[in-house]
Every structure is written in C-alpha cells, then in structure tokens.
Structure 1
Amino acid sequence: MANSYEMIAARVTGVEQITPLIKRFTLVRQDGQALPGFTGGSHIIVQMQGADGRRFSNAYSLMSDPADTREYQIGVRLEEQSKGGSAFMHGEVQVGSELTISTPNNLFALDPAAGKHVLIAGGIGITPFLAQLHELRAQGTDYELHYAFRAPEHGAFQDELNAGPHAARTQFYIDSLERKLDLAGLLGNLAADAHVYVCGPKPLIDAVIATAKLLGIADRRVHWEQFAATPASGGAFTVVLAKSGRELRVEEGMSILQAIEKTNAAQVECLCREGVCGTCETRILEGEAEHFDQYLSDEEKAAQQTMMLCVSRARSERLVLDL
C-alpha cells in the first residue's frame, strides 16, 4: 500500500541559472547531518509554502553523486503551465530559503542484469541520468548517453558533460541544428544484453517505447520515467466512498483526488500529485481503474487491487473505493 516518507527540514545553499528555463538547486539538512543515501534514478518530494500560505509539492530527480550525501542537487525547469511548484522554485527560492523534502525513492533504478546501459534524455530529463552516470563510472559498467534538446541554449549541463569523464560516451542531438536522434538506428543496433532508459517529454518516451516494441525488444529491457501527470482524460464517472457511502461525480478533466478535495468528502494524503510518490494509493473495492501512475508495477496495475487517486481514473462507469 501507500509509501511512507520521512520529511526532512532542508536549506538551500546554492541556486544556479543553467539555461533560460532551468535552475539547479543545492540542498542540505538544516540540522547539519548527512542526508539519506540514494541510488541513481531516485527522486525526492519538495514541499514549498508561500508567504500567502499556498502550498506546493513536486517530485524532482536527484542529480548529484550518490556517493556524497552531504548535499542533494535537483534541476527544476520552469513549466509554461506550472501548477505553481516550478514557478515558486524559480521566482521565490533563493540561497537561505527553507524547504521540506522527503527521503528519496527510486522508480527508475539501473537494472543490474544489464550488460550495457543506453540512456536517452530529452530536455530536463537529463537530471536522473547525471546521478546514474556517477554510479556507472564507479562500477566500470558499459554505458552511453544520448541527449536531445531543442536548441544549444536549452542543453542543460551540456558543458559539464563535455568537460567531464563521460564526454566520450555522450552524444548530443540538437533540433535547431538539424541533429536528430535516430531511434530506429540506435535501438536497432542494441546488444542482446543492453537495457534502454528514457526520461523526458512524453512524445520522446512514447517514441522510444514504440520503437523498442517494433524492433522486438522485451519490455523488461526498456525503462522510463516522466515527472508530469498524465492529463485527466476520458468521460465522467461516479466514485463511491465505501466508508461514508458518499457518491461523487468525477467530471472530465478532473482527478478523483480533486473531486474528493472539492467536496471535503475524505482526507487523502498526496505528496506529489504526479503518480510517483504512492502516498494516495487506495484500495479498489468494485470496478476497474485506468492506471496512469508510474508507482505501481504492470502486475499490480493488472491486478486492479489499488490505484493512485491523483492521476488514475475509472475504466468502468462506477468505482467503489476503500475510503
């Protein structure tokens, strides 16, 4: 069931403008102790509170070296349709700001069974790979990084990658310069023991998954992560809260969590609102869910035992939940 996080009081010790839309934030514990250990691909939940009392909560990949837990680093892209979190981080957070962060969780870990790791990043999707690169180099494992972005000024951390120990294993693809990523060519030459990892915009993730399927690459060898909630699509449906007997209509474009909060029908904890933290996992008593989260495994989704209220919807007209 729902994941349990320890929350940590943190302080911002560094803010760097990396590209016009991306900032890097360095965080330490307020009590001066070391932060919890993590592995490449891990994320944390960052909770923010404005002077007006508004609260925001977003998930961000850890991009610093897992071997050094004196500090964490995250990269935050200013989203055009921000729900408030990225705008707050860019506009309000500065050196000395105090935030609350969660202990790390990893839904995008490197697979130890892989003989080679092929990393494909798009835009801000580079961040989890930066931590994984530290691990791969330390382990002496074979890897390569393919990083695509719109224009030279949007290539976050490109200079660091070019100047660092991963330069020979990194290739850049820049749309404005007509340097396109050829997924069919890349994945078509994949070794039998190689695994593919992709993080970035949904079109890139979908293209990698589709190309891998077309080439007959097993699903277990393709790993992906996207920190953006899938838009609530599909028609309206009814949710029944079994403990109170209340029935709620979840309209098109609305999440179950939003419908519950709008009517104060139940208390539901949710840290991320993006289907990655697991805190809003709820048991399904009747009906079937259309799962859009990244927290549950494919087997757990098929079992239809639980769902994430922040992003997932009903496949049936009526859904009864253990709330």
Structure 2
Amino acid sequence: MTAGTSALKLVVTDIDDSVTDVRTLTLTDPDGAPLPSFTPGSHIVVECGNGGRTANAYSLTGDGVAPPAYSISVLRCPDGSGGSRWIHDELALGDTVVTRPPRSAFAPVLRARRHLLVAAGIGITPMVSHLRSARLWGRDTALLYIHRPGRDVYVDEIRELAPSASVHTRRGEFSAELTMALADQPFGTHLYVCGPTSFIDAVSRLAAEFGWPPSRIHVEHFGAALDPGEPFDVRIGSTGDEFTVESGVSLLEALESRGYTVPNLCRRGVCGECRLPVTGGTPTHRDLFLSDRDKQAGDSLMACVSRAGTDTLELNL
C-alpha cells in the first residue's frame, strides 16, 4: 500500500469467471495488511491499463470493516472506455493494480425506517455491501433484483444475506412486484436504485408517481451519462484569460486545449481528481463525487463533466 491516501497498490489474488461476461477480482495488500474500511455502497476507482489514463469506478461487495481484501465484479463492455476489456483480457493472478481509496456516494441513510434496494444486472454490486451491513446492524432492508438468464451474479450471497430477497429474470413479473413495493412501503422508507441509466430513470419516475420525495430516492450510476450541455464562458481569475466552452466540449478539454494542466484520471465524474475552485458564477454539477453539501456550497466543480448554470464561470487556477 502506498503511503497516504492518494492511491493503493493491490495484488490480484483471485479471479472468478464463473458468471458469463462478469469477472470478479479479489484484491489484497501485497504485505497482507488490512485494507481501509468502507461504508456500504462504496466504490474504488481502478486505473485500467494505458498508463493509468483509463480509470473506472467499481463497487466493493465485501465486508467493509477492516477488510483483508477488496472484491469487485466487472461486466465486460465491448463498447466501453476499455477498462473492462483490460480487466477481462489482460489482468492476471499476481498482477498489481492501482486504485483510489474507497468512497461512497450511495451509503444507507441511517435514520431511514426501512431500506428498499432495487437493482438490475451488474447494478447488484453496491447492494451486496448494503445487505452485509443491514444484517450486521439489524436494519430493515428489502431487495428486488432483475438479471439476464445466466448472469445471476451474487445470487448465492443474496440468498444467504437476505432470504426474503426477490430475484427475477422476467421483466413483467419484476415490474409488477416493483410497482406493488413502491406503492406500499412504511413512511420513512428510503429507496436505493442501481443499474443501467434507463432502468434508474424508469424506477425513479415510477417512485415519483407514487409520491416518493426526491430526498428518499438515492441512485448510483456507473459514470455520468450526460447531454452535450449549453455553451458557457469561463474567466481565469489569476490570468484574466477568457474563453467559451462549446456544447459537447468539457471544461477539462477546453482548459487543456489552452495549455492549462489539470490533474485528472477518470474523466467521467467519479474519481475527484479534476476538482477546481470556483470564485464566480454558479456551477451545474454533473459529477458523482461531490457530496450534496459540496454542491450546495458552489465553490468547486469537477472539470471533466460539470458546466455552468450562469453565463460566465470564474475559476481560480
């Protein structure tokens, strides 16, 4: 493990390819030391080949209390950024991977009366750590999970952790049970949703139709799925440099094209490396890293995905 909290160097000590197109990795400290603890719903950002220029976030599925190892499951995505192909096709037992320490933007709300977990496909991964924590602390938790036939990842663990969990492969049956669940939950229940963006949006819309307030709906995306956004102007306070960030171009790309060096890693709004201080204007936050409190403060943004909610944004570089 590297010194400090900037990065962890871990060794691949087990690879499980028993589920079609899903590779599960076990990562440990090279000296056998316990790894940093994490809250349920946490992920790590893994530097995936290309000299660390590709980095993806993967949910941790193991026990979060002084874990001897981290476990992640990665779906093969042929049309992705290349991280999953590297993990599936190039990574081998004994290899070293570099990751960032665990971070959670999807933790259970401790004051919730009940926790309703809804997942599709590989979106089950953050829910597994939720279930482990729920069993440890005796939280009232229910799970609805749909997956493709043959991609029943973590089903055995789910049956052990939550025998009453509802697991489906038929969309119609799942949709009917989901509708009933959203319509009939005790007051104070919080909803947690993870899966493809279209699935998250559909479940969130249905919950809203049943009167669920946004404060009780929590979602976990695998990287930000974003529209091109509107153009906006930027002023660099230290130099007076002014320029326009066009639609479809990120602030990070615009800064790099003008010769500014901005630390970055994932370029998808999950790792937090490209956080920049904002000294004027209102950011439109589109990242998955900053907390709600950070976003409300409006004094920083992630240059790789976030934009401006006002005509001009002033940055301190």
* TM-score calculated relative to the size of structure 2: 0.89
Shift of 1:120: 0.6
Please name the residue that 2:202 is paired with: 207
2:62 partner SS: coil
Please name the residue that 1:161 is paired with.
Answer: 158
Report how far residue 232 of structure 1 moved.
4.4
Give the counterpart letter for 1:236 in structure 2: P
Question: What is the 5 A alignment of 1:46-195?
Answer: 46-50=46-50, 53=51, 55-67=53-65, 69-149=67-147, 151-162=148-159, 164-166=160-162, 168-175=163-170, 178-182=172-176, 183-195=178-190
Q: Which runs of 5+ in 2 are unaligned?
A: none
1:27 counterpart residue number: 27
Match of 2:310 in 1: 316
2: CA distance between counterparts of 1:228 and 1:273?
9
CA contact (8 A) 1:120 1:145 kept: yes
**Which residue number corresponds to residue 242 of structure 1?**
237
Which segment drifts farther, 108-117 or 179-188? 179-188
Distance in structure 2 (CA, Å) of the matches to 1:25 and 1:262:
37
Q: Deviations over 1:256-293 (max 9, x none)?
A: 1122234432x222333232333322222333322212
- The 8 Å contact of residues 7 and 102 in structure 1, kept in 2 or not, is answered as yes
Q: CA deviation at 1:297?
A: 4.0
Rounded to whole Å, the distance in 2 between the matches of 1:17 and 1:245 is 54
SS of residue in 1 equivalent to 2:19: coil
Q: CA RMSD in A?
A: 2.3
Query: Residues 54 and 299 from structure 1, CA distance in 2 versus in 1: closer, same or farther, beyond 3 angstroms?
Result: closer
Q: Secondary structure at the match of 1:283?
A: strand
Amino acid at match of 2:220: E
Deviations 1:151-189 (A, max 9, x none): 212332224434x242x22112324x6433234321110
Contact 2:131 2:161 in 1 (8 A): no
SS in 2 for 1:103: coil
Aligned residue number for residue 306 of structure 1: 300
Match of 1:42 in 2: 42
Larger relative contact order, structure 1 or 2 (CA cutoff 8 Å, min sep 6): 1
Q: Is the Cα contact below 8 Å between 1:75 and 1:127 reproduced in 2?
A: yes
- Secondary structure at the residue paired with 2:48? strand
Contact 2:105 2:291 in 1 (8 A): no
State how far apart, in whole Å, the 1-side matches of 2:244 and 2:11 are: 41
User: 2:9 corresponds to which letter in structure 1?
Assistant: A
Percent identity (aligned): 35
Contact 2:14 2:26 in 1 (8 A): yes
Instruction: Give the equivalent residue in structure 1 for 2:10.
Output: 10
- Conserved 8 A contact 2:250-2:303: yes
**Paired residue secondary structure (2:47):** strand
Shifted more, 76-85 versus 291-300: the winner is 291-300
Task: Name the stretch that deviates more: 85-94 or 232-241.
Answer: 232-241
Could you say which residue in structure 1 is the equivalent of 2:280?
A: 286
Q: Structure 1: which amino acid aligns with 2:306?
A: S
Q: Deviations over 1:41-64 (max 9, x none)?
A: 1111212334xx463211111111
Q: Distance in 2 between matches of 1:48 and 1:80?
A: 15
Separation of aligned partners in 2, 1:311 and 1:273? 7
Runs (4+) off by over 6 Å? none
Please state if 1:222 is matched with 2:217: yes
- State the SS of the aligned residue for 1:126: helix
Aligned residues: 313
Contact (CA 8 Å) 2:223, 2:270: kept in 1 or not? no
1:18–1:157 CA distance, 2 compared to 1 (3 A): farther
Unaligned runs of 5+ in 1: none
- Tell me the SS of whatever aligns to 1:253: coil
**Contact 1:143–1:169 (Cα < 8 Å) also in 2:** no
SS state at 1:9 partner: strand
1:18-60 deviation per Cα after TM superposition (whole angstroms, max 9, x unaligned): 433221111011232111111211111212334xx46321111
* SS state at 1:121 partner: strand
Residue identity opposite 1:272 in structure 2? C
TM-score (norm 1): 0.88
Q: Distance in 2 between matches of 1:112 and 1:134?
A: 15
Which letter maps to 1:20?
Answer: T
Letter in 1 for 2:302: M
Return the alpha-carbon distance in structure 2 between the equivalents of residues 65 and 43 of structure 1.
13
> Using the alignment, how far apart are the partners of 2:310 and 2:193 within structure 1?
31
Q: What amino acid maps onto 1:222 in structure 2?
A: I
CA contact (8 A) 1:40 1:132 kept: yes
